[in-house]
Structure 1
Amino acid sequence: MAQQLNNEEGTTLIPPQKAAGETRSSMISASFNFINSIIGSGIIGLPYALNQAGLPLGLLLLIVVAFITDYSIILLIKGGNLSGTNSYQSLVQSTFGFPGFLILSGLQFLYPFIAMISYNITTGDTLTKVFQRIPGVGPDHILAERHFVVLLSTVAFTLPLSLYRNIEKLGKVSFLSMVLTFTILIIVIIRAATFGPQIPPTENAWAFAKWNAIQAVGVMSFAFICHHNSFLIYGSLEQPTLANWTRVTHVSVGSALIISAAFAVAGYTTFTGYTQGDIFENYCRNDNLATFGRFCFGLSIITTFPLECFVTREVLSNVICSRDLTKAEHVAITFLIVSVCTSISLAYDCLGVVLELNGVLSATPLIFIIPSACFVKLSPGRWFQGENLIPTILILIGLFVMITGLTMIGLYPQDCSHGVEMYYCEGANTSSTVLPV
């Protein structure tokens, strides 16, 4: 059981013991890790979310999802304080018993696991287009082979980074990912100004709202979820107080919202109704600036992969054994997780519908329902009074999004036009629409 520290900020959880040689993260480093956890491959689908919901309503929904994310992350730590627990799993087990523990473990494993698969797929699809811009590398070259690129990135980067035992060691890697994300944002904004005016808007491009708004919430939830990392990052703080955690959360989620909104608007206004799930699929292959953006995005998600691996490994270790893993067990479980993710990503190259399902079935309960349900049950008072009112509303919203979103996905599944060159890139139009770098 975690010890508790009472100070002027209130009761705060700290890890029971600090391992020999273990270092703690500063608030800045923790914020970088948190922002990097939020801004992963999901950000690339946010322009598509605006295409589903409509630009004005989509932006409103994005702000609402960010607000709920911020609120529920803090709610998690408050729930940990009330229950005397220091992990998402132990919080739910303390609140709802072993059945709750199993449900959360499944969700908490499924979300980052599928996210890692999407990272590998995006890495292969993105970097193969980058390599084909190298002189002498044609469609038949080994560097244009998606399977080889995925295996290369796994062996050279994601597996070694995932073998770290302490999440704070990824602080510098997270900072690099942040720099790359800002670079991608600038590229998308530049192309919105230089490329967008030459693509005619589609019908109802500027409509306030569209019928697929609930699906858009699923995509946004997929992009914003970071709850599975919350206790890990909170526990890595030099001073893990509720006040410090609140500041880290506000800064991280607020920064992620600004970046995400700018990216979503710039991407959608460029392509309007043509916007695809992966915005880089909309750019022409001979667009050198977009190719540089693909390179930055591929490198960025490679550095995000280890953060998700930390979570899946922790879930497995908590389910399999309640003690700390030995070095051999740590390596074996990490290798197993990365190997399975790589194998699935080599077999499938389009996970659009799966990612939407992940957002609706995994991200939504992890953001909206479970943190709120834990707090309502642990806190005193009736469910509709005082501090319990907002969490209760979030539970109802979460159930609505899950049921409606699943229905909409079945009725209007996302089309997958993976690897298809858009019509505006064909023939003589290409040289006039894509400006040289």
Structure 2
Amino acid sequence: DEEETPLIPVRKDSGKQRHTMMSASFNFINSIIGSGIIGKNSLPLFFPTLCLYFMADYTIILLIKGGNITGTNSYQALVQSTFGFPGFLILSALQFLYPFIAMISYNITTGDTLTKVFQRIPGVGPGHILAERHFVILLSTIVFTLPLSLYRNVEKLGKVNLSYHTIVVFVPTQNAWSFANWNAIQAVGLISFAFICHHNSFLIYGSLEKPTVANWSRVTHTSVGSAVLFSAAFAVAGYITFTGYTQGDIFENYCRDDDLVTFGRFCFGFSIIATFPLECFVTREVVTNVICRRELSKMEHVLITSLIVLACTSLSLPYDCLGVVLELNGVLSATPLIFIIPPACFLKLSPGRKLQCQNVIPIFLIAMGFFVMITGLIMIGLYPQDCSHGVEMFYCVQSNFSSTAPPV
């Protein structure tokens, strides 16, 4: 059966540990459920979220099928085989940009969440060094993200990524049914950011014990399906709770003295720390494929990894508005990587006329991708999200609390 034959030439390093389907699914879920899950979402966008789930699932499988047709084992090799060197350069830029900006957002999230966790420690107040986001970001980088990013094999992160996912329980507030504004296209870009995992699909596919299209389809359905359930839970609960006051980082809406949310911040902060290295793997591979075009020596591996992590950390220290970062990454890099390039490759590789039934969905996805990119960039410029890092919301201050919320 063709579906059970691993047509893509998978790289098999000597002594390299292979992933079971469950372990690969956990790595894939962790790749999807990053900082995007706590970005600003709303209940009216539940149906678009569901549609984006099917589209993401569809295009992930398209990539592997394209790899089967061309005999390639990476996203870059597939696009180069299909569109030549210009296509390779465009994809390489997008593949570098997406995980690079994602790592910046992970650092911002770490600084947002763990500073408030540390402030629940007796004696740690707003002026304490552990409540300083710059120090927390530097500390997590030195102790966790840089050492984990120095791994050479993605399989070693499987065990690290298994244990850190959590869901926070939300309590509804007043005025919960004020619906989204007309510029909700911005949230579509954010949701695109939350669901992209195409840039490391070949990495995880190649780590399977039995890398076949059938097994990969099961991993994809399980991983993306689980991610949409988590995202829907956060979106619905967050919308019901905070409506027009929802921040770019939804954890910023909760008060510092909420112990349950403090536990959620702690778990989510370490989930993000565990996700960071997976994105660094992809960024490093792009640099290796474009610049070095050979396997890195140990010294080169350490140097390039350190430079990537240092650059991300340097950019995340002065800027702390998570929502804008997520939206920009969504419309600028995630949208073409999800909706435009995979179906474009499929159309180019498909035999016969382009206007046939099997090509209707790919053509629709390409058109939608360009619409979301153009409209999303315009909306980000006209309607940037508010950002209030480290500022307690009005309802957290007892003296300002009233039954009537102030106007948005």
Q: TM-score, normalised by structure 1?
A: 0.89
Residue 49 of structure 1 aligns to a residue whose secondary structure is coil
Aligned match of 2:275? 304
The whole-number CA distance in structure 2 between the counterparts of 1:399 and 1:223 is 18
Give the superposition deviation at 1:11: 5.7
Residue 348 (structure 2) pairs with residue 377 (structure 1) = yes
Question: 1:27-60, CA deviations, whole angstroms, 9 ceiling, x for partnerless residues?
Answer: 0100000000000000001xx221xxxx23x000
The whole-number CA distance in structure 2 between the counterparts of 1:249 and 1:78 is 13
Aligned match of 2:406? none
Question: 1:173-219, CA deviations, whole angstroms, 9 ceiling, x for partnerless residues?
Answer: 11113xxx2x3x1x2x3x32xxx2xx3216xx354x64122111101
Structure 2 counterpart of 1:286, from 229, 234, 257: 257
Q: Contact 2:178–2:244 (CA<8 Å) still a contact in 1?
A: no
Amino acid in the other structure paired with 1:153: S
Residue 15 (structure 2) pairs with residue 21 (structure 1) = yes
Question: 1:342-379, CA deviations, whole angstroms, 9 ceiling, x for partnerless residues?
Answer: 11111222243232111001000000000010110011
Residue 214 (structure 2) pairs with residue 243 (structure 1) = yes
Q: Contact 2:105–2:325 (CA<8 Å) still a contact in 1?
A: no
Give the superposition deviation at 1:338: 0.6
Amino acid in the other structure paired with 1:143: L
Aligned match of 1:435? none
Aligned match of 2:293? 322
Residue 360 (structure 2) pairs with residue 360 (structure 1) = no
Question: How do residues 156-305 of structure 1 correspond to structure 2 at under 5 angstroms?
Answer: 156-177=143-164, 181=165, 183=166, 185=167, 187=168, 189=169, 191-192=170-171, 196=172, 199-201=173-175, 205-207=177-179, 210-305=181-276
Give the superposition deviation at 1:429: 7.2
Structure 1 counterpart of 2:7, from 3, 12, 19: 12
The whole-number CA distance in structure 2 between the counterparts of 1:282 and 1:217 is 21
Aligned match of 1:3? none
The whole-number CA distance in structure 1 between the counterparts of 2:320 and 2:308 is 19
Give the superposition deviation at 1:24: 0.8
The whole-number CA distance in structure 1 between the counterparts of 2:323 and 2:228 is 22
Aligned match of 1:112? 99
The whole-number CA distance in structure 1 between the counterparts of 2:271 and 2:400 is 31
The whole-number CA distance in structure 1 between the counterparts of 2:322 and 2:205 is 31
Q: Contact 1:218–1:405 (CA<8 Å) still a contact in 2?
A: yes
Distance 1:381 1:293, change over 3 A: same
Question: 1:254-277, CA deviations, whole angstroms, 9 ceiling, x for partnerless residues?
Answer: 111111111111111111221111
The whole-number CA distance in structure 1 between the counterparts of 2:249 and 2:235 is 11
Q: Which moved more, 1:367-376 or 1:335-344?
A: 335-344
Amino acid in the other structure paired with 1:326: S
Q: Contact 2:6–2:210 (CA<8 Å) still a contact in 1?
A: no
Structure 1 counterpart of 2:370, from 366, 385, 399: 399
Residue 8 of structure 2 aligns to a residue whose secondary structure is strand
Give the superposition deviation at 1:382: 2.0
Q: Contact 1:368–1:397 (CA<8 Å) still a contact in 2?
A: yes
Residue 146 (structure 2) pairs with residue 154 (structure 1) = no
Give the superposition deviation at 1:283: 0.6
Amino acid in the other structure paired with 2:123: G
Aligned match of 2:34? 40
Give the superposition deviation at 1:13: 0.9
Question: 1:85-124, CA deviations, whole angstroms, 9 ceiling, x for partnerless residues?
Answer: 1100011111111111111111100011011011111111
Structure 1 counterpart of 2:65, from 45, 56, 78: 78
Q: Which moved more, 1:288-297 or 1:98-107?
A: 288-297
Amino acid in the other structure paired with 1:19: D
Residue 391 of structure 2 aligns to a residue whose secondary structure is coil
Residue 317 of structure 2 aligns to a residue whose secondary structure is helix
Q: Contact 1:14–1:86 (CA<8 Å) still a contact in 2?
A: yes
Amino acid in the other structure paired with 1:115: A
The whole-number CA distance in structure 2 between the counterparts of 1:404 and 1:313 is 31
The whole-number CA distance in structure 2 between the counterparts of 1:284 and 1:206 is 22
The whole-number CA distance in structure 1 between the counterparts of 2:90 and 2:73 is 18
Aligned match of 1:49? 41
Question: 1:215-252, CA deviations, whole angstroms, 9 ceiling, x for partnerless residues?
Answer: 11101001111001100000000110000000000010
Amino acid in the other structure paired with 1:28: M
Amino acid in the other structure paired with 1:93: Q
Distance 1:431 1:201, change over 3 A: closer
Amino acid in the other structure paired with 2:318: A
The list of structure 1 runs, each at least 4 consecutive aligned residues, that deviate by more than 6 angstroms after superposition, is: 429-432
> For this pair of structures, how many residues does the alignment match?
403
The whole-number CA distance in structure 2 between the counterparts of 1:263 and 1:119 is 18
Aligned match of 1:331? 302
Distance 1:410 1:305, change over 3 A: same
Residue 176 of structure 1 aligns to a residue whose secondary structure is coil
Residue 35 of structure 1 aligns to a residue whose secondary structure is helix
The whole-number CA distance in structure 2 between the counterparts of 1:170 and 1:277 is 28
Distance 1:19 1:10, change over 3 A: closer
Identical-residue share of aligned pairs (%): 74
The whole-number CA distance in structure 1 between the counterparts of 2:124 and 2:380 is 39
Amino acid in the other structure paired with 1:242: V
